[in-house]
Amino acid sequence: MPDDVIIEARNLTKVYRDFWGRQKVRALKALDLEVRRGEIFGLLGPNGSGKTTTIKLILGLLFPTSGQVLCFGRDATDVTKNERIGYLPEESYLYKFLSAEETLDFYGRLFKMSRRVRRQRTADLIDQVGLTRAKKRQLREYSKGMTRRIGLAQALINDPELILLDEPTTGLDPLGTRDMKQMILDLREQGKTVVMCSHRLDDVQDVCDRIAILYEGELKELGRVDSLLKVHDVTEIHVRKLNEKAQQEIRQIIDREHGELVSMGNPTTTLERLFLDIIAESELHPGRRVRGAKDA
Amino acid sequence: MVIETEQIPFHEWILWASLNWLLVVAALAVTGLFLSSLIAVVRHGPARGLELTFRVVGSSFADLFCMSPRRVWALTWLAIKDSLRRRVVIVFVLFLILLLFAGWFLDPGSDHPLRLYISFVLTSTSYLVLLLMLFLSAFSLPADLKSKTLHTVVTKPVRPSEIVLGRMLGFILLGTFLLVLMGAMSYVFVARGLAHTHEVIPSSLKVVQPGDDAAKGDVPLKGKSTSVNNHRHDVALDRKGRGRLEMTQDHFHRVIRRKQGDKTVYEVGQPEGMRIARVPVYGKLRFMDSQRQEKEAGTNVGDEWSYRSYIEGGSLAAGVWSFEGVTPEQFPERLQVEMTLGVFRTWKGDIEQGIAGVLLLRNPKTGLTVEAKIFPAREFSTDVHQIARKLTPETVYYLKREEDSDGLVKKVKYVREEITGHRKSQYDLFDDLTDDGRLEIWLQCLDPNQYLGVAQADMYLRARDASFALNFMKGYFGIWMQMVLVVGFGVMFSTFLSGSVAMIATVGMLIGGFFRAFMIKLAMGETYGGGPVESFIRLLTQDNVVSDLPAGLRTTVAQTTDAVLQKGLLVVAKLLPPLREFDCAGYVAYGFNISADWIAEQGLTTLSFAVALFVVGYFFLKTREVAK
């Protein structure tokens, strides 16, 4: 296994069986996969495609029916590999009777961290995920978004090299989603490796370097996001303040060169972009209705 | 109180117990390895199955021997915190309420109030704590698996062994804390519940010696006290006005007469002699027949309860106890012999009188034997005999040991030899009758055709009493050990069963544990009526349990099947915890000190079970898919 390969799955297969050993479902079929150091790797696919199963196999929460998965060159069932891993499950499975501070302190104690480092790290992470004012409250009182954020904090408590995120933006509002995506990008900047699975295509597109597309347990596509998404026979030009005459001339050039004009006009922004702009402007000028009243 | 189980000294017990434990562990390990390999081979094929098995076994050494105390403590803390969240303190509150209202149904005026109080507090504590621990330990891990909170834990560098140990320690620590609280409350409850005093009724005081009326106040007086807690005492005062309210309901009070101006007042103290912890020194029992020849047991009088063996009256038959450690340091003032004897009458005789017995003291080295005491043996009560250090016996002789062999069997006989030459008028208990702390006490029955029934634990020498408070704590230690086992089984089962099933399985083990001794007896063929199949046939055919079944194919098949079943039953019984042996409430209630040997033996037994349960629980958790 090369040094820059963090996760290596070979012929990884998982079959779920019932109590009597009869096959219920074949969740993963002979998956071959490599995740390299420093990249954001996305597992993409519809519900039941085997994304979460793959992550659970990497973590040793499930045992493969056949094949093998190595993480940092060690078998997935070797718990010592977890020293270098952080995991955010699909739902934040945390002890609701603990406060945010107690939660991070508890998980910190499971690593080789001195009390001083643990306390410092707890305070930093609580600050980083924006829960400083709620750090003494029990998690049962938290909203879904807050729970997600403390979940991410616990995944980062050991300053891991590899972070596994299962549906990281589930339950988050657009602001939370933006923050989460920014955090994931920041992790890459810090040299961390991130593996995330999601069925939200925009999330994956925004942050991932490479993706694997799974369908019914089978690997359908694997590669860099930019090259996978690139449409080779289409050229896209975005121009600001172009008058009608110039637009006409461009059309003529396209005709002369035997090109096919697909569309030309004013592009629309995304709803997410619009929402984020409104929130940002509202924070700058509270009380003002910023736009759109006329159209309503 | 009858103590049927002989207390084996720790140094004798440990060798046998260690060997037994190692054998069971080895058998379990081999069986476990075989079964898990078999399952793995069936599920994954021979090559991968065996590879997986060896991988698990290989990594288990690191898991079991490289645990991190820091992580174990973190998980212990989590288990405690989780339990507190489940409001376990309510159990303590419930116990307090029980104590508050206990006065309504506990009668301090009963014949043995201490037994009543001790039984109540120990029983209620054990029920509450064991039930609580049963629920906590059986439901905790399954709840974590169901809520998937365990996923977040096992994806940290936590070994399955640390999870199992952390749970066990957490619940044990919590249970210990509750037991300490409940024990302290119980002690105060017992002390306060039994505390009382009386007043001496001055008008009831009568001069013992007639004709000394004029000197009243300076002569012995006898009288009555007032009634408190449904009892009153006889009062006995000496010439100096000191005395006591005589023994009633297992206690007495000291009383002292004082002058306050013109008035005479009697100050009566708190009850004494009730909260005691006798330290019995047990001897080894052997029997002599009517020819003073040694034999294995006494006479069988046909009693179905074969605990006691009987000594024939009006003959030389005797029960002989050999004691060790009979030293002036251990028994500084006198030798107190306490006996609880069985009586078997072949004719009614004088019921009031009791059956006459005699105690002989014999020096095992010189054979010097003195007649120490003739007494009427009473049934259903403890006879207490004080033997002074200086003895002036009427009858003294030698009992010389003689060995005879017919080539195959060695026979030991004791022959009486009269003292020739100088006979001392007074004998010293330690100088003349003991040899390096060894002393023999012979018990003979004097009434012809009557029998005295004895067992080894029926006679003991009472050494200096131990602390009752400490004994009370030891009683709680018995509950603590039961609690540890409940936690061990609960956590172990919860690693692979759902909460409710784990709870039922734990209860099953506990019930089995209470009947362990009987199961072993059944498996060893020591019960009447044969094994399960033979007994079933007897039920159908209404055959007597002691008569042999008619020889034939049916009997052969039944007995062969029983032999196989009994072997299986023996294995199962050996795996069950000896819970009944941990129950020492009777010792505390009846005022017997729980010996250090008992503590060490039962403590080690508990520890060995806990270790085994931890290892089994670890393997189950290690080999299960947490996220399935």
3-state SS record for B539-586: HHHCCCCCCCCCCCHHHHHHHHHHHHHHHHHHHHHHHCCCHHHHCCHH
Report the Cα–Cα distance between both ends of chain B, in Å, rounded. 54
User: Does the beta-carbon distance from A97 to B71 stay under 8 Å?
Assistant: no
Based on the fold, state whether residues B239 and B353 are members of the same structural domain: no
Q: Are B94 and B239 in a shared domain?
A: no
B625 vs A63, A66, A112: nearest CB: A63
Give the gap in angstroms from C-alpha A240 to the nearest C-alpha of chain B.
50
Which residues of chain B, if any, have pLDDT below 70? 1-6, 209-219
Task: Specify whether B503 is located in the same domain as B616.
Answer: yes
Same domain, B186 and B227: no
Q: Count Cβ neighbours within 10 Å for each residue of B574-597 and write b for 16 or more, e otherwise.
A: bbbbbbebbbbbbbbbbbbbbbeb
Q: In whole angstroms, give the CA distance from residue B152 to residue B160.
A: 13
Taking CA–CA distances from A112, the nearest residue in chain B reads: B70
Nearest by CB to B156, from A62, A91, A110: name it: A110
- B599 in the same domain as B506: yes
Chain A residues with CB-CB distance to B156 below 8 A: 82, 107, 110-111, 158
Look at B625 and A97 and tell me if their CB atoms are within 8 Å. Answer: no
Distances (CA, A) of B85 to A98, B63, B140: 10, 30, 12
What are the tokens at A112? 């080789």
Q: DSSP per residue over chain A, as a string?
A: --TTEEEEEEEEEEEEE-TTS-EEEEEEEEEEEEEETT-EEEEE-STTSSHHHHHHHHHTSS--SEEEEEETTEETT-GGGGGGEEEE-SS----TTSBHHHHHHHHHHTSS--HHHHHHHHHHHHHHTT-GGGTTSBGGG--HHHHHHHHHHHHTTT--SEEEEESTTTT--HHHHHHHHHHHHHHHHTT-EEEEEES-HHHHHHH-SEEEEEETTEEEEEEEHHHHH--TT------SS--HHHHHHHHHHHHHTT------SPPP--HHHHHHHHHHHHHHSTT---S-TTT-
- My answer on whether B211 and B190 are in the same domain is no
Domain count, chain B: 3
B263 and B411 together in one domain: no
Residues B157 and B241 reside in one and the same domain: no
Cα–Cα dist B625/B598, whole Å: 42
Which residues, in sequence order, are CB contacts of A185 under 8 Å at separation 6+? A40, A207
Domain regions of chain A by residue span: 5-229
Report the top-level CATH class of A5-229.
alpha beta
Predicted pLDDT at A295: 46
Q: How far is A108 from chain B (nearest CA, A)?
A: 9
Q: Is residue B85 domain-shared with residue B114, that is, in the same domain?
A: yes
Subunit contact B78:A106, Cβ cutoff 8 A: yes
Q: What's phi and psi for B182, nearest 5 deg?
A: -65, -35
Contacts with A66 from chain B: Cβ below 8 Å: 48
Q: Which of residues 95-114 of A touch B (CB under 8 A)?
A: 95, 97-98, 106-107, 109-112
CB A155 within 8 A of CB A86: yes
Q: Does B80 touch chain A (CB under 8 A)?
A: no
Rounded-to-10 torsion of CA B623, B619, B174, B179: 140
B522, part of any domain: no
Distances (CA, A) of B170 to B73, B176, B568: 8, 10, 35
Yes or no: say if B365 and B328 are a contact pair by the CB < 8 Å rule. no
> ipTM of the predicted structure?
0.84
Q: How many helices (H) and strands (E) does chain B have?
A: 16, 23
Q: Provide the shortest C-alpha distance from residue B506 to chain A (in Å).
A: 22
Q: Provide the residue type at B110 as one letter.
A: S
Regarding whether B136 and B79 lie in a shared domain, the answer is yes
Which of B430, B454, B478 is the last residue in one of the domains?
A: B454
pLDDT of residue B531: 86
**Positions in chain A whose pLDDT score sits under 50:** 292-296
Specify the pLDDT at position B562.
92
Give B351: exposed, middle or buried? Use CB within 10 Å, 0-12, 13-18, 19+: exposed
Residues 6+ apart with CB under 8 A from B165: B67, B72, B75, B614, B618
Nearest CB neighbour to B151, from listed A63, A78, A93? A93
- Identify all chain B residues contacting A158, using CB atoms and an 8 Å cutoff: 156
- Residue listed under structure tokens 């996923």: B151
- Tell me, yes or no, whether B189 lies in a domain: yes
Domain span at residue B19? 10-195+469-514+581-622
Q: How are beta strands A40-44 and A210-215 bridged, if at all?
A: parallel
Calculate what percentage of chain A has a pLDDT beyond 90: 50
Residues of chain B in contact with residue A89, where contact means CB-CB under 8 angstroms, are 148, 151-152
Instruction: Identify whether B4 is part of a domain.
Output: no
Q: How far is B89 from chain A (nearest CA, A)?
A: 16
Contact check, Cβ <8 Å, B152/A109: no
Can you give the length of chain A in residues? 296
Give yes or no: residues B383 and B404 share one domain.
yes
pLDDT given at position A294: 43
- The pair of structure tokens assigned to A236 is 């896209």
Whether B81 and A98 lie within 8 Å, measured CB to CB: yes
CB contact under 8 A, A80 and B155: no
Contact with chain B for residue A139, Cβ under 8 A: no
Q: Are B314 and B346 in contact (CB under 8 A)?
A: no
Do the domain assignments include residue B557?
no
What pLDDT score was predicted for residue B215? 46
**B14 shares its domain with B90:** yes
Tell whether A220 is within 8 A of chain B (Cβ). no
Name the burial class of residue B162, with classes exposed (0-12), middle (13-18) and buried (19+) by CB atoms within 10 angstroms of its CB: buried
Biggest CA–CA distance in chain B, Å, is 108
Nearest-neighbour CA in chain A from B54: distance (Å):
14
CA distance B533 to B537: 6
Q: What is the pLDDT of residue B476?
A: 94
Helical (H) or strand (E) element with B42: helix B10-44
Q: Which residues of A touch B149 (CB under 8 A)?
A: 93-95
Residue B627, chain A, CB below 8 Å: the answer is yes
B42, B78, B149 member nearest A93 (Cβ): B149
- What is the model's pLDDT at position B202? 87
Look at residues B349, B577, B613, B595 and name the one whose alpha carbon lies nearest to residue B471.
B595
Assess contact for A104 and A157: CB atoms under 8 A: yes
Nearest to B510 by CA among B459, B445, B560, B577: B577
pLDDT score of A204 = 84
